[in-house]
A and B are shown apart, each in its own frame.
Chain A
Amino acid sequence: MSLFLTQVMNGIGSGAVYASLALALVLVYRTTGILNFAQGEMALYSTYLVWYFAERGVPVWLAILLSMTISFIGGALIERILIRPVENSSPLVLVIVTIGLFLAINSIAQVQFGNDIKLLPRAYADKTWLPGNVQISSDTLVLVGVLIAECAVLYLVLNRTKIGLAFRAVASNFESSRLVGVPVGRMLMLGWAMAAAIGALAGSLVIAPVGLQGASMQEILVYAFAAAALGGFDSPLGAVVGGLIVGVVGTLTTQYFHAVHDIELVVPFGLILVVLLVKPSGLFGTTRVERV
């Protein structure tokens, strides 16, 4: 039983990472309607920045904050300069543009920072607690704690501030928001900016234990896509719940079903397929009724 709970805790830990990146994906999708294939690579670059600052003696937590700030600005600029010109194009064109961004950022990161594995200094002590024989590592606690903090901040900003209201208005009805004078362009930039900052945080925390390298974020991105699809792409809550589910289910099946050894990805994708067959817009997604 304690092994089971331990694995559940581990699953929640990894789930928190998927949830964070999925949250970033959903933010971008809700405002600009784009599935950002490059979200993982943007997070990758941000994590390289953390390493860069840490290498030069900046304390890790400060490096993460610095990187988040730079990523925030970078995300806004990417939206304004690269994405805005094609925002009204067909979904396929948008997919290609984000793929182009993916390729560009990945290779620029590797050229700029080198292809070897980078180790980040730990931001917090590596401890394990054993309440009732259940192993809870400090990694898990920090990841979950950060996720909770992210959600809290996001909730407060979106629901208790004027700019958050404007942001939600743009996400819901672009045209009407223009008509009441909301600077919609700036809201779009804000969506990308917030997503980039969240990605930076997620990347920094998850990479630290294992080391940073070119392909680090790609598998996480796939899981994040799965999480967002499971939760419903237009629901931030869904992204978080989806991420945790994917994390827990993934860890548990790896542990308990040896048949899925080597094919762990079957689990999240199988799960998504099942959910989407029953509820095609995801667990928390809004089913849009179309008038013909």
Chain B
Amino acid sequence: MTALLEVSKLRAGYGAVRVLRGIDFSVAEGEAVVILGANGAGKTTTLRAISGMIDAAGGIVFDGQPILGRRTEQIAAAGIAHVPQGRGTIVDLTVDENLRIGAYLRRGQEIETDLERWYTTFPRLADRRDQQAGSMSGGEQQMLAIARALMSRPKLLLLDEPSLGLAPLVTQELFRTLGELNRNDGVSMLVVEQNAGLALNIAARGYVLTTGTIVTSGTAAELSGNDDVRRAYLGI
């Protein structure tokens, strides 16, 4: 499998505060990779660096192209769909409009077929098609954010703590859907999460990020069996 995303020696921060101190990881095509970390570890910073939302140094190569330094809009056009922390719902638009804006960079009739497809995958969105997106529950907004990202037919999906603020049952359903998207539809994804249990269930490989450095990496099985990981993230 070829590396879809290759990150090397990534350093990033906010002004005087350095958050990432040089990390390396990769995502192969068709893979679901998870980055585990506690609050403040640098998970969101990592994704924002990939999306070009903050200044960073090091190497980010996506689909064979170096993308570090490019503008966010260009990176989106290259095929990366970023679902931000807190879902980033465009609250004043309807559900349908949110999905359509997700397809902004595309043209043609296939947009309509894709819309129907995601309405089928996420029936609750279909029910609320013309409802204002901001009035939906957290779980529904998360579904919307993911569907919106998928509307661009991305090569890589970035998900920032999808479980944040959601009830346990909702997150279980959410991750089940993510898992299916990866296994059945081959959607490559990079998920950063605190909720290790759910994340490792759907991922092939994972990394553990602690205060800006990657301390452990391995397959999902290896990580689940790792004592440190179990103690820190699985509460065992």
Contacts and interface: CB of A to CB of B under 8 A. Distances in A.
Interface of A: 162, 165-166, 168-169, 171-173, 175-184
B101 A175 contact: no
The 4 closest A-B pairs by CB, nearest first: A181-B76, A172-B92, A176-B88, A181-B105
Nearest to A176: B88
Interface string B94-135: 000100111011000000000000000000000000000000
Given A162-B104, A184-B73, A179 B92 contact: no
B105 A180 contact: yes
Interface of B: 51, 53, 72-73, 76-77, 81-82, 84, 88-93, 97, 100-102, 104-105, 148-149, 152
A80 to B, nearest CB: 15
B73 A181 contact: yes
A181 B74 CA distance: 7
16 contacts: A168-B93, A169-B101, A172-B90, A172-B91, A172-B92, A175-B84, A178-B76, A179-B51, A179-B76, A179-B82, A179-B88, A180-B102, A180-B105, A180-B148, A182-B101, A183-B73
A270 to B, nearest CB: 31
A185 B213 CA distance: 35
Given A173-B89, A182-B104, 8 more contacts: A165-B97, A166-B104, A169-B97, A175-B88, A176-B89, A180-B76, A180-B81, A181-B77
B223 to A, nearest CB: 28
A165 B100 contact: yes
Contact of A165 (B51, B76, B101): B101
Nearest to B91: A172
Nearest to B152: A180
Contacts of B100: 165
Contacts of B89: 173, 176
Contacts of B51: 179
B73 A173 contact: no
A158 B77 CA distance: 23
Given A171-B92, A172-B90, A173-B89, A179 B101 contact: no
Contacts of A165: 93, 97, 100-101
A176 B53 CA distance: 11
B190 to A, nearest CB: 14
A168 B91 CA distance: 10
A177 B90 contact: yes
